[in-house]
Structure 1
């Protein structure tokens, strides 16, 4: 029976129970609330089914990957085996690997399922979380995904709807148009006597065609009006934006190799390690009156960050959305403990430096890679670390008046930059009209602004504004190892290291961009004086 329990290929949840039964019978009894003998009896009753399943293993695909959860548990129990496995495992070609399928998580109203999963994960993680923080984070991710997949299953792939068949009226219109063409040909080839009857028949067909077209146009307008009304009621902002934005469409047809070369050129910086020197046009910043809070993130800050995040936001490469942390308070508290450990070390784990992206068209009928822009999605659990420096950095910069809000208003809380800038331009135009004066307005649009800011400029801005050294260490560790890959159809590009620019989905990246641009604005203001 013991040998059977150790080798039986049950589901992931049952395999975890077998591990827990063998290593800690006391905790196992408290968790399942049944004697171990009863569990052994239930397990033994499935021996016949196990024999039937093992007889079919010869038909299993030899290329099928092993369960990562069991592999992780085995490597945790033996550090030497873990090192050997990592050293001997061949590197997979990420260009041919697909992203993780999404789990069909229960609805937020299903409190029972979420509570049960939260409690079960807490008990399982209590026994399996061992080793350094990197290993703990990987264990956390694998267990959440594996248990969620086992319990709730995967989302069904969206099947493309077949185009609806036309109703009887459009079919009737098409037949009448075909009949009208035939009458025209017969009219041209007929004698004068026959033309009189053909002309009357042609007029009758035209009358019917006109009547049917009016009815069909009325039906289409009514249907379109109802569709737009429903879209406006569901999301007024999205509907208004669709009216004002230009039409964007198209499919990326550039080969995968050319796309990877494009990404390499876009995100590489051969001068990344060249430290920027001092600039005479930039005056040194005064010592801060309000110091930057560099303490560990509190549980309240983590809860607030997760609460403000959208539950419907797309998950990162680990396929775990914010919704899981919103609905599982015990899991969120465990993540907070790991966040504090990462914060103390000042070294961001490699798994938190990965981001996946997609290509979206910038114009109508886009085809080449230059006609698309990229949108990135970072790890949801990893965004909690940059989130706290982001809020603290913003308060630090605005509280010490390091950012000139009369010029820079984007991403600064409390300022509606678009409204203020638009109102100022409107006032200038009105004054110019009344005074009959000339007015010159110059619009500058930086191409790929977020993706072209050098990292050395960000490091220079951190030192210039007297940012705490530990915060600098965390941000430097984060920017030094960011890797990107993008979905192209049903494939993924290879990992590309981000040597220049920022990740658009990262909360702290926007603040770092503002700090770097603010140095350039200050230098330009001094020059214009």
Structure 2
């Protein structure tokens, strides 16, 4: 389910949009302590235990330990190499329908060490700002979309969106070494995740949304749908 024996290069698709050049450069300065604290505050204290059994609650209540984690994150940022334990995930299979028997009828909920999730959250969303505007969420029900997104697509997206080389290198290194093992009545050995993204990973959901966004934006000008009563025309 997680292997990709071909690992082929993706062909260049002329129809895909090319995002405009950046108006403001990415902030590549080392992570600030406040950014780490803000991410920890948003983490659920009652979240399921991670592989190293350290929950967000530890960092929520122990400021000195949080500061040590921040210093570790700065070292990792400078070296451009993640901690080995941050590449490990434990997955539980959840049935998607009654009488599920094959792997395709299950989805995986993955648990990762919170330290890695904190680092990746500060890495990607540090520039995000809250606004007063409305938010519309569209769910695309695609066949195993999370589990089949090619790694080469992720690399291509980061380049198209003008992500700096240093950040792209960190993300590539993370996915190239990501391993998943299934836990339940018995625990499997760890397997390298060659295709797809991990549920529960703070960076995977953003990369998946970016992939869907570039596809939808590439077709919305060419194919226009019906007019809704609200006055909005569907792509």
- On whether the aligned pair clears a TM of 0.5, the verdict is yes
Q: What SS does the aligned partner of 1:373 have?
A: strand
2:120 aligns to what SS in structure 1? helix
Give the 3 Å change call, closer, same or farther, for CA 475–393 of structure 1 in structure 2.
farther
Q: Could you say which structure has the larger radius of gyration?
A: 1
Instruction: State whether residues 315 and 322 of structure 1, in contact with CA within 8 Å, keep that contact through their aligned partners in structure 2.
Output: no
Q: Hey, which of these two has a bigger chunk of helix by percent? A: 1
Q: Quick one: distance in 2 between partners of 1:513 and 1:358?
A: 21
Q: Is the 8 A contact 2:17 2:214 kept in 1?
A: no
Could you say if the C-alpha distance between residues 509 and 393 of structure 1 is closer, same or farther in structure 2, counting changes exceeding 3 Å?
farther
**Partner residue of 1:288?**
22
Residue 85 of structure 1 corresponds to none
In the alignment, does 2:174 pair up with 1:478?
A: yes
Is 1:459 aligned to residue 194 of structure 2?
Answer: no
Q: CA deviation at 1:496?
A: 1.1
TM superposition shift of 1:393: 6.5
Corresponding residue number in structure 2 for 1:373 = 107
Q: Deviations over 1:309-340 (max 9, x none)?
A: 01100121111111111111111101110000
Are 1:292 and 1:468, in contact at CA under 8 Å, matched by a contact in 2? yes
- State the Cα distance separating 1:299 from its structure 2 match: 0.5
Pick from 497, 501, 525: which aligns with 2:196? 501
Does the 8 Å CA contact 1:318/1:379 hold for their aligned counterparts? yes
For normalisation by structure 2, the TM-score amounts to 0.86
Aligned to 1:415: 135
Q: Which runs of 5+ in 1 are unaligned?
A: 1-265, 400-412, 422-443
* Counterpart contact for 1:483–1:497, Cα < 8 Å: yes
Report what 1:525 is aligned to: 220
Equivalent of 1:450 in 133, 140, 146: 146
CA distance in 2, matches of 1:414, 1:271: 42
- Matches of 1:393 and 1:304, distance apart in 2: 13
> TM-score scaled to structure 1, two decimals?
0.40
Q: Which of 201, 208, 218 lines up with 1:513 in the alignment?
A: 208
Contact 1:292–1:392 (CA<8 Å) still a contact in 2? no
| 2:74 paired with 1:340 | yes
1:205-354 equivalences under 5 Å are: 266-272=1-7, 274-354=8-88
Go from structure 1 to structure 2 and tell me whether the alpha carbon gap of 1:361 and 1:465 turns closer, same or farther (over 3 Å shift). Answer: same
Deviation at 1:361, TM superposition (A): 2.0
5 Å-filtered alignment, 1:55-454, equals: 266-272=1-7, 274-392=8-126, 415-417=135-137, 445-454=141-150
Give the aligned partner of residue 57 of structure 1: none
Structure 1 equivalent of residue 233 of structure 2: none
Structure 2 gap segments, 5+ residues each: 225-235
Q: How far did 1:286 drift?
A: 1.6
How far the C-alpha of 1:277 sits from its partner, in A, is: 4.1
Which digits, 9 at most, give the CA deviation of each residue in 1:325-378, with x for residues without a partner?
111111110111000000111111221010101112222344444432211011
- Work out the CA distance in 1 between the residues paired with 2:221 and 2:9: 23
Superposed displacement of residue 526, structure 1: 5.0
Shift of 1:414: 5.2
| Residue number in structure 2 paired with 1:98 | none
Structure 1 residue ranges (4+ consecutive) displaced by more than 6 angstroms after TM superposition: none
1:382 counterpart SS class: helix
Pairwise CA distance, 1:283: 3.5
Which has the bigger relative contact order, CA under 8 A and spacing at least 6? 2
Residues 125-161 of structure 1, C-alpha deviations (whole Å, 9 max, x = no match): xxxxxxxxxxxxxxxxxxxxxxxxxxxxxxxxxxxxx
**Cα–Cα, structure 1 residues 361 and 345, in superposed 2: closer, same or farther, change >3 Å?**
same
Q: Is the 8 A contact 1:360 1:372 kept in 2?
A: yes
8 A Cα contact 1:311 1:322, kept in partner: yes
For residues 414 and 330 of structure 1, the distance between their equivalents in structure 2, rounded to whole angstroms, comes to 38
Q: Deviations over 1:160-194 (max 9, x none)?
A: xxxxxxxxxxxxxxxxxxxxxxxxxxxxxxxxxxx
Within 2, Cα distance between the matches of 1:293 and 1:309? Answer: 23
Structure 2 Cα separation of the partners of residues 501 and 377 of structure 1? 16
What do you get for the CA RMSD once the two structures are aligned? 2.3
Conserved 8 A contact 2:92-2:109: yes
